[in-house]
Amino acid sequence: MTPTTPAAPLPPKNKWSWRSRAFRGLLYQALALVLMGLALWYLGHNTLINLRERGIQSGFDFLTQTAGFDIGESLFPFDASQPYWRAFLIGLSNTLRVALIGIVLATLIGTLVGVGRFSRNALVRGVCAAYVEIFRNIPVLLQLLMWYLLFTEVLPAASEAWQLGSVFGSIFLSKGGLNFPVPIWSSDHAWAAVGLLAGAVLAWLYRRRAVAHFEATGQLRSRVWLPLGLVLFGGLLGWLAGGTPTAMNSPMRGLFAIEKGGALTPEFIAVLLGLTAYTAAFIAEVVRAGIQSVALGQSEAAAALGLSRQQEMKLVMLPQALRVIIPPLTNQYLNLTKNSSLAVAIGYPDVVSISNTALNQTGRAVECISIVMVIYLSTSLLTSWWMSRYNARAAIKER
């Protein structure tokens, strides 16, 4: 029997050869980027030349100049003597404030309404369906105006504000907005913050172990209420360690307005309610479609195991529906953030409103619009990146 000679090894492939599909793909992408860069440079250079010929100033040097206007609502102190770049930061913070709170509220409401469409109670199904059809089919700008008119026309003046009782002080609701008590911050509150942080770390560690235990044994542990209890318990211990500070800055009726305390303006509340109600209707349909995409046999198997309707939805249907829900849910988050630019219609000082004021004062139209475009592009890309990572974690792992 003649021994077989081993086959000659194949020559190594040259990754940088023109015959390599990966190399050609990289080359085409690099060429496309170069062409796009040249096109943008040409447009920018041509625009600057035309502006100089017409005697129009250009450039971003105006950002360091004094703004000369006040901002009615901001999370950080601002006055007219500060530069334009700080005014843009205030507008950005106001935009993010509405977008982040709106995303959380719209997700909660949309999920509840979407799940409610599968309720065995006809009244609950009808209410959820009516909510979706009403708020989804009314333009978001009209909804913003509706909420704003409700606050400015229907509610009483500040001198006759509705007063709501509270454990820590009074809450007032009027045309001036919502006024509520806030803690008087001191160094003692740092202990409470440390306790909350420690509780959050413990909750994260516990939740990781609970997930690993479930995947290994199939035994379910609390992954919501117990971690939340750890966070609150840590905050309580920190509050006790800090000497239990209880001083509150409570609002009170003034001669023309509600004074002291914290406040939410009618513009902010109108924007938040309008965007939340509008986006939640679309999220409800996304959740409903995702649940319907799960095979009917999964529901039948859950019922055969003796799971209740709530357990079936929580443990079987929703986890499998996430792979369908997350991509369109990302689009709704992006739409909510971009729709916040409509807040300029009711006077809320978001980044678009600040940009319009700066444009009218300086005449730098291209620069101001470019800043707004970069801000919305950056927030959209960050949202897409974060949701892509979450989508990868929520995807069903096949073995």
Angle formed at CA 9 by CA 6 and CA 10, multiple of 5 degrees:
145
Residue pair 164/171 in contact (Cβ under 8 Å)? The answer is yes
Q: Write the DSSP symbol of residue 55.
A: T
**pTM strictly above 0.85:** no
Whether 238 and 191 have beta carbons less than 8 Å apart is answered as yes
Grouping H, G, I as helix, E, B as strand and the rest as coil, residue 399 is coil
Residue spans of alpha helices (H) in the chain: 21-53, 84-116, 122-137, 140-149, 189-217, 225-241, 266-292, 296-304, 309-311, 318-339, 351-362, 365-394
Q: Coil, helix or strand for 180?
A: strand
Quick one: DSSP state of residue 344?
A: G
The tokens of 138 are what? 């009314």
Domains and CATH numbers, the chain: 84-153+267-393 (1.10.3720.10)
d(CA 254, CA 32): 63
Structure tokens at 320: 């499998």
d(CA 334, CA 132): 19
Pick from 99-113, 148-162, 199-213, 216-230: least confident: 216-230
Per residue in 80-130, pLDDT (tens digit) is 889 999 999 999 999 999 999 999 999 999 999 999 998 889 999 999 999
Query: Can you give the pLDDT at residue 260?
Result: 79
Q: What is the pLDDT of residues 250-298, one digit of tens each?
A: 787 777 778 777 888 899 999 999 999 999 999 999 999 998 888 888 8
User: For 59-77, what is the mean pLDDT?
Assistant: 85
Nearest-CA neighbor of 350 among 72, 113, 136? 72
pLDDT score for 21? 79
Task: List pLDDT tens digits, range 162-207.
Answer: 887 666 667 888 888 888 888 887 777 788 888 889 888 998 888 8
pLDDT of residue 9: 60
Check: CB of residue 235 under 8 Å from CB of residue 192.
yes
Answer yes or no: is pLDDT of 70 > 70.
yes
Angle (CA) 106-376-139 rounded to 5° is 45
pLDDT tens digit sequence for 319-372: 888 888 999 999 999 999 999 999 989 889 999 999 999 988 888 888 899 899
Q: How many residues does the chain have?
A: 399
Least confident of 9-13, 52-56, 170-174, 212-216: 9-13
Other beta carbons within 10 Å of 35: 10
Question: How would you list the strands of the sheet with 171-174, edge to edge?
Answer: 162-164, 171-174, 177-180, 262-264
Helix axes 365-394, 318-339, angle to 10 degrees: 170
Q: Tell which residue, 391, 393, 377, 290, has the closest CA to residue 334.
A: 377
pLDDT of residue 123: 94
